[in-house]
Structure 1
Amino acid sequence: MKLKKTTAAVLALGAFAGVAHAQSSVTLYGVADAGLLYTNNVKGDHVYQLSTANSSRWGLRGSEDLGGGLSAIFTLENGYTIGTGGMSQGGLLFGRKAFVGLSSKTYGTLTAGRQYSASNDANSIFGSGADWAASGLGYGTRAADVDNVDTSNRIQNSLKYTSPTWRGLTVGLLYSFGGQAGQFSKNSVWDVAASYANGPFKFGVGYMYTKDPYYATFGNQGNSSTPTSAPGGTNNMPSRIFGGYASAGAQQILTAGGSYALGPATIAVLYSNTQFKDLGSVNPVGSPYATKYTGGTATFNSGELNVKYAFTPALTLAGAYIYTHNSGAGDFGSAHYNQVNLGVIYALSVRTSLYATGFYESASGVDSTGQAAVANLSGSTWSSTSHQVAAIVGMTHRF
């Protein structure tokens, strides 16, 4: 009798463990991407390098059912360079994402950590640079990703709330703590966004306000005395497009976009207004390219139209045109940037595809540094002329 009870207890415990295991999950996922990138003018020289179109990454995401429709969730995502095996995002272990939180189908999701902005959640799907025209260096984005639609700047030390979807509408709120003793608002970020989806139509809008953007979001290590990478640039070389505004006391970004799927074609538009406010109010340590502004606001207005067309389930062609105007600030004039992205993707399977993408940018006027504007594809060092051309051919494998 005792043996039967013991056996029954063991079987019951095993059944309970099986149920508990079924209610929890951890998933390993990622992207391995490699391509040959050519840039015709990097400070006057041709450059060939191994790069990516879809930034290589690996991550862990998991959830645990807590009962009552509530789950504990987490995501840890690392970015890496496939050519060298080194870590991206300034060498951070989980520089792409690192957050933990609670999720409820009834009340929404609350997460804490380093994460994408709510505005990016709502609008990145409408930008070619965050989709088919992506490159590991960000070449396909609007004017050095000045509006952060391509997530050049993740938001760290942040709390984010995402509402349940109600009749196609989703709302997101985010606040990032500056972490400065005695200065609660310093280096802080707040962000609000909404998205709507109904059949073939999608729409998104977002507004983000950042105090002391040079320290709060530029680079990869917010709240430090010096950012680990230059604003809008690469290899500690700031983008000429907005690197001169590193002394801004605040930055605000308004984004709005939409798309419509018509059979095999998807047409998308995206608009952004980015303002660098109170120029000259911050001392940008380690940024010798920052121009000595004594006040004022620099404003970027950017618009994009892009189209994707699936000729077959495997073959997709796409194109985009982007125009950006920098109104300038102080005694400096304005600048104009025109960009064209063209791409083709061929799927070998659900997980593996080949791609070829081309980028062209032209510039005119006076840039943020007070010099004659030059082409400066996002993530690249600037051209020695008003034009810059790049192309990448490669392979993406998702797991």
Structure 2
Amino acid sequence: MKLIKTSVAFLTLSALGSAAYAQSSVTLYGIVDTGFLINNNVKGLHQYAFSQATSSRWGMKGTEDLGGGLSAIFTLESGFTSGTGTLSQGGLLFGRKAFVGLSSKTWGTVTAGRQYSASNDLTSSFASGADWAASGLGYGTRASDVDNVDTSNRVQNSIKYMSPNYRGLQVGVLYSLGGQAGNFSQNSVVDAAVSYTNGPLNLGAGYTFVKNPYYATFGNQGNSSTPSSSATGANDNMNNKIYGGYASAASQQIIVAGGSYTLGPAIIGLLYSNTQFQNLGSVNAVGQISGPKYTGGTATFNSGEINLKYQVTPALQLGGAYIYTHNSGADNLGSAKYSQFNLGATYSLSKRTSLYAIGFYETASGIDSTGKRAVADLNGSAYSGNNHQLAGIFGMTHRF
């Protein structure tokens, strides 16, 4: 009898232990993408190289049931270049995501660390460059991703709240601490967004305000007083011709709104953004791209995009997009206009493996942020030697 009681107690404890263990989970996931890139004009020269349409990455995410509908969560995600194995995001180990938080189905989710903005969470799906048009390569975005819809710049040292989805409505807010001693607001980021879903209709809008953007978001170190360098040797996206000359801005403001509508196998998307580099000449941007010494004023970018995805068969998807961006200029130094076309096809070999072919064409006119004649400058690429740039990439993506 004693032996039976002992066995029952042991089995009961084992079952309880298994149940407790089942309430916690850690998932390893990732994407490996490799493609062959052709660019007809990189500073006047043809380029042939390995690249990636979707950012290669690996990560871990986990959850622990704390009871009462509350869970502890975390995500660590590292980006890398499949062709060389080097780290992306300026060489940061977990440069894509690194956060921990609490989540409740009733009250929403609070996370803290390095993460995407709420605006990106609720509006990026409307942009071709953040979806099928080579989000990893970056070529498919609006004017060097000046509105950050493609998350060229993540937000570090931040705390974010995302509400539950209530009858299709969801809101999110984020605040990033600059970390500068004696100055609470320097290098800080304020962000808010809202989305609404009703059947085939999806809508979203976001607002972002960044103090000292050259250091707060473009350097991969939110508390930095000097710019950091990316894996390619450039100060992230501030070394492009389109807006690199505005690194001395005291603040950056981004307003973005968009939507999509599903019609059978087709999804039509629209996106508008207004980006302002304000109070130019206020920040000593060490090592910035050469350009005019602005003494004030605001440079404003207005950008619009229309795109279409069409599911031809369960395996084959086609996509197309047109993007127009107007830079109004600053200090009476002229303005610039950029037009871009994206075309792509994706063929799924399975749920986890797909083949793709994507093309990009951009033209430019006017005077750019450096005070010189505007040239084409696809995001993620070195600038063209003239006012147009044509590129294409084809390859394979595997998800695990």
TM-score (ref. length: structure 2): 0.97
Q: What CA distance in whole angstroms lies between the structure 1 residues aligned with 2:62 and 2:72?
A: 8
Corresponding position of 1:143: 143
Matches within 5 A, 1:27-106: 27-106=27-106
Tell me the CA shift for residue 225 of structure 1: 2.9
- 1:246-282 CA-to-partner distances (Å, cap 9, x unmatched) read 0000000000000000000000000000000010000
Q: What is the one-letter code of the residue matched to 2:125?
A: I
- Is the 2:135–2:150 contact (alpha carbons within 8 Å) kept by the matching residues of 1? no
C-alpha contact (below 8 Å) 2:54/2:137 kept by paired residues: no
Shift of 1:286: 1.7
Q: Give the structure 2 partner of residue 377 of structure 1.
A: 378
2:279 matched to 1:278?
yes
Q: C-alpha displacement at 1:21, in angstroms? A: 1.4
Structure 2 counterpart of 1:236: 234
- Report how many residues are paired: 397
Q: CA deviation at 1:226?
A: 2.5
2:214 and 2:365 map into 1 onto residues whose CA distance is 25
Structure 1 residue 288: Cα displacement: 4.2
Which residue does the alignment assign to 1:214?
A: 214
Q: CA deviation at 1:290?
A: 4.7
* SS of alignment partner, residue 376 of structure 1: coil
Aligned to 1:264: 265
Q: How does 1:198-347 map to 2 (within 5 A)?
A: 198-229=198-229, 235-236=233-234, 238-347=239-348
CA deviation profile, 1:77-116 (whole Å, cap 9, x unmatched)? 0001000111100110100000000000000000000000
For residues 135 and 190 of structure 2, what CA distance do their matches in structure 1 show?
28
Would you say the 8 A contact 2:63–2:72 is kept in 1?
yes
AA of the residue aligned to 2:259: G
Q: CA deviation at 1:44?
A: 1.0
**Paired residue type of 1:304:** E
C-alpha distance in structure 2 between counterparts of 1:182 and 1:157, whole Å:
17
SS at match of 2:74: strand
**Deviations 1:362-388, CA, capped at 9 Å, x for gaps:** 000000010000000001110010000
SS at the partner of 1:252?
Answer: strand
Q: Is the 8 A contact 1:225 1:285 kept in 2?
A: no
CA distance in 2, matches of 1:361, 1:376: 8
Is the CA contact (8 Å cut-off) linking 1:188 and 1:210 kept in structure 2? yes
1:158–1:192 distance in 2 versus 1, CA, 3 Å: same
Q: Which runs of 5+ in 2 are unaligned?
A: none
Structure 1, 131-140 or 329-338: larger mean CA deviation: 131-140
CA distance in 1 between partners of 2:39 and 2:136 (Å): 13
- Partners of 2:360 and 2:2 in 1: how far apart? 76
1:248–1:366 distance in 2 versus 1, CA, 3 Å:
same
Distance across 2 between alignment mates of 1:383 and 1:175: 37
- 2:7 corresponds to: 7
SS in structure 2 at match of 1:255: strand
Give 1:323 shift.
Answer: 0.0
Distance 1:112 1:290, change over 3 A: farther
Partners of 2:75 and 2:290 lie apart in 1 by 36
Q: Distance in 2 between matches of 1:260 and 1:3?
A: 67
Q: CA deviation at 1:2?
A: 4.1
AA partner of residue 293 (structure 2)? K
Overall identity of the aligned pairs, in %: 71
1:288-330 CA-partner distances (Å, limit 9, x unpaired): 4253100000000000000011111111111000000000000
CA offsets 1:324-379 (integer angstroms, 9 cap, x no match): 00000003100000000000111111111100000000000000010000000001
Determine if the alignment matches structure 1 residue 125 to structure 2 residue 125. Answer: yes
SS at match of 1:392: strand
